[in-house]
Amino acid sequence: MRWAAAGAGGVVLLCWPLLVPPYFVFLTSLIVVNAIVAIGLNLLSGYTNQLSFGHAGFFAVGAYVAAVLTLRAPALPVVATLALAGLATALVGLALGIPCLRLEGLYLAMATLAFGFVVVEAILNLDWLTRGNDGLAVPAARLGPLALGSDAAKYYLVLGVGALMVAAAVNIARTRTGRALLAIRESEIAAQASGVHLAAYKTLAFAVSAFYTGVAGGLFAFVVGFISPDAFDVFLSVDFVAMIIVGGLGSIPGSIVGAAVITLLYDWLAAFQNYRPLLFGLILIGCMLFMPGGIASRMAKWTHQAQ
């Protein structure tokens, strides 16, 4: 039953560009990109309880590395570009994560918030590379002789990478590493007493989270085709946090659902720019007060009752 449902879902996703107009294909690509960020953020915030308000910064690093690589080394296949974007962002994540090991809770939230601002300022100041406020037009991704220019081609690229990232995250969550991260969330002291190396696992979570967000940033650059610093402001970090709050902390399906909900809301409310933050704020408050585990825990409760 479950496999049949998953198979049907897979077939629909594969035929999606044939079924719906290009705009919805583009929107679905964005959902997948945001889902990758949400999974990455959830590995850090949901699994080890290290709240980050700076993931727009990682996202920006990934996007700019991918864009600059594509502009300067057009022969590079897109898979290598994305991997390099992810690795570069993971390095930045390590550089931020290791000193932040000493911080927790509020302090970590503030340090990551500051990191997000610094990244935007850095992009503005490195204008010989990033062209500052003017932004960068990103050429189509290349896979050997293929140029992935159409919405459908970009969609398949995003979908393929997204499937890999989801599979990897599910595997991380199920292994020793995932259990160690969850143990850290429940109680750092108890985890340490059970032989979990706190510093190593928290740093690992930071690096993996940054890697996911960096790859997603690279995909975002290709999907949208144009990046500028104002797209990566602190409100984007807040949107990412909203995705995992709405979806459910510490849940991979929850991350995907949360990313879909926030991305679709964002799109539907495009005509009501002024009301959007109002609604997002109310959603955050409402989730925290009335549905602390997000949609994922709600769904778990329903399926539990159904059985």
Site for another protein in 57-86 (CB under 8 A): none
Which part of the chain contacts another protein (CB under 8 A), choosing from 4-12, 18-26, 109-117, 210-218? 109-117
Q: Shortest Cβ distance from residue 288 to another protein (Å)? A: 5
Is the CB of 87 or the CB of 111 nearer to another protein? 111
Position 292 contacts another protein (CB under 8 A): yes
Among 289, 304, 305, 307, the residue binding another protein under the rule CB under 8 A is 289
Position 124 contacts another protein (CB under 8 A): yes
Q: Which of 226, 287, 277 is nearest to 254 (CA)?
A: 287
Among 76, 83, 114, 299, the residue binding another protein under the rule CB under 8 A is 114
Give how far the C-alpha of residue 204 lies from the chain's centroid of Cα atoms, to the nearest Å: 16
Q: Shortest Cβ distance from residue 81 to another protein (Å)? A: 28
Site for another protein in 31-60 (CB under 8 A): 49, 51
Position 99 contacts another protein (CB under 8 A): yes
Which part of the chain contacts another protein (CB under 8 A), choosing from 106-114, 141-149, 176-184, 217-225? 106-114
Among 26, 58, 115, 211, the residue binding another protein under the rule CB under 8 A is 115
